[in-house]
Amino acid sequence: MAEPRGQLPEEMLVFIFQYLPLRDRAAAARVCRAWAAAATCSAVWQDTNISCDCEREDMLPPHMSDCLDHVHNLRLEFEPSRKASRQTATELLMTLASRAPGLRGLSLQCRGEKPLFDAGRDVLDAVHAVCGAARQLRHLDLRRLPFTLDDALVLQAARNCPELHSLFLDNGTLVGSVGPGSVLKLLEACPRLRALGLHLASMSRAALEVLAAPDRAPLVLLALRCACPEDARASPLPNEAWTELRRRHPGLAVELELEPALPDESVTRVLQPAVPVAALRLNVSGDTVGPVRFAARHYATTLRALEVRAAASAELDAALEELAARCAGLREVHCFCVVRPSVRDAFRAHCPRLRTYTLKLTREPHPWRPTLVA
């Protein structure tokens, strides 16, 4: 490879190559020796986004395995219903497990539809392998993985990833298979955990007590998704346990997502007064007015985001106006039903930090676009 005249400094090439797609990085590495050195520099690969939208031979160039040694944070996007995309993602994860012990962060993003009658065992086995090899793993985000997660994966992380800072397992599965026992072992093995996302059925009073222990790192985010039958049958998390957790971690923000699988009596058990709810997403099949009023009266100092999916009614409008008057710290509110003008006016008048809202006065074709506050 001949060296071109007027060669840019390696620092400049590295800066440029960081923003190139994977295929273009591979092409750049074949231009000349200087470009090859820059394209395989560790700084280029520390934060890497890979989309498995092309065929395997394009996704895994010969030098890719060596470059994986330098990947610290990987965001991997694939479409599970497409065989080539899914196979590429699985092989890449297995290669990562064998070649990248220095991995710090992994986020899996699935697009499209999950295949019917598919448990995703191949993808989950690959994630399991990564957790077994990447002992420096600090961030694992599986929220966009549509497959049922299980205790084996959580226990693997507990055994091999003591440096975990964030773990998100609150995905869109219809079955909750991560039990409270495995979560408890994870919390005991990972004292530096600062952000955690789970289904409600995976959480327990004992877990809240471990999180409130005096020797733990500050907990800043706890996301709880209530969307499957196991969540509806979960044991209640008592208000006094939330009170102690909030006292131990005054900066804690809780995100609650309540889906139609949760009956009214379960909603009542979940919405405890002491929970420091920062984001509340209501898509319940029963009463919505009651939870909105409850949030207005108990989460006034902590609530920053509200999303409501419900049928329009005068009672809901009145509850939203009460919430607007009490929750001055709101930054976004999205209501996916038509509201009366006084609702929009209330949020504009009482919420000075409001940045975006979806408050439609008339029916419009979907998807509804939010309004940005100037």
226 vs 310: CA distance, rounded Å:
17
Residue 30 has pLDDT above 90, yes or no: no
* pLDDT attached to residue 59: 53
Q: Which residues pair with 281 in a beta bridge?
A: 257, 307
Over residues 162-182, the pLDDT tens digits come to 999 999 999 988 778 899 999
Average pLDDT, the chain: 89
What is the DSSP secondary structure assignment for residue 217, as one 8-state letter? P
56 vs 224: CA distance, rounded Å:
37
* pLDDT attached to residue 247: 97
| pLDDT band with cut points at 50, 70 and 90 for residue 283 | very high
47 vs 193: CA distance, rounded Å:
21
| pLDDT band with cut points at 50, 70 and 90 for residue 57 | very low
Half-sphere exposure of 238 (CA within 13 A, CB side): 6
| pLDDT band with cut points at 50, 70 and 90 for residue 54 | low
Question: Which of 98-102, 141-145, 209-213 is least confident?
Answer: 98-102
Question: Which of 6-20, 274-288, 328-342 is least confident?
Answer: 6-20
Question: E strand or H helix at 240, and its extent?
Answer: helix 239-248
Mean pLDDT for the stretch of residues 17-36: 78
Whether 356 and 372 have beta carbons less than 8 Å apart is answered as yes
Contacts (Cβ under 8 Å, ≥6 apart) of 201: 176, 178, 179, 180, 228, 230, 231, 233, 234
* pLDDT attached to residue 56: 46
Mean pLDDT for the stretch of residues 39-68: 68
Quickly tell me which residue has 């007027």 as its tokens: 6
Over residues 238-280, the pLDDT tens digits come to 999 999 999 999 999 999 999 988 888 889 889 999 999 999 9
Whether 114 and 143 have beta carbons less than 8 Å apart is answered as no
Tally of CB atoms within 10 A around 297:
12
CA 211 to chain centre: 20
Whether 302 and 280 have beta carbons less than 8 Å apart is answered as no
* Rounded-to-10 torsion of CA 203, 204, 207, 208: 100
What pTM was computed for the model? 0.90
220 vs 195: CA distance, rounded Å:
6
The three-class DSSP label of residue 170 is coil
Nearest C-alpha neighbor of 227 from the set 268, 255, 199, 205 = 199
Residue 217 has pLDDT above 80, yes or no: yes
Alpha helices in 54-100 (DSSP H): 56-59, 64-68, 83-99
219 vs 151: CA distance, rounded Å:
22
Mean pLDDT for the stretch of residues 22-47: 78
Residue 29 has pLDDT above 80, yes or no: no
The token duo for 167 is: 């773990």
Mean pLDDT for the stretch of residues 320-335: 98
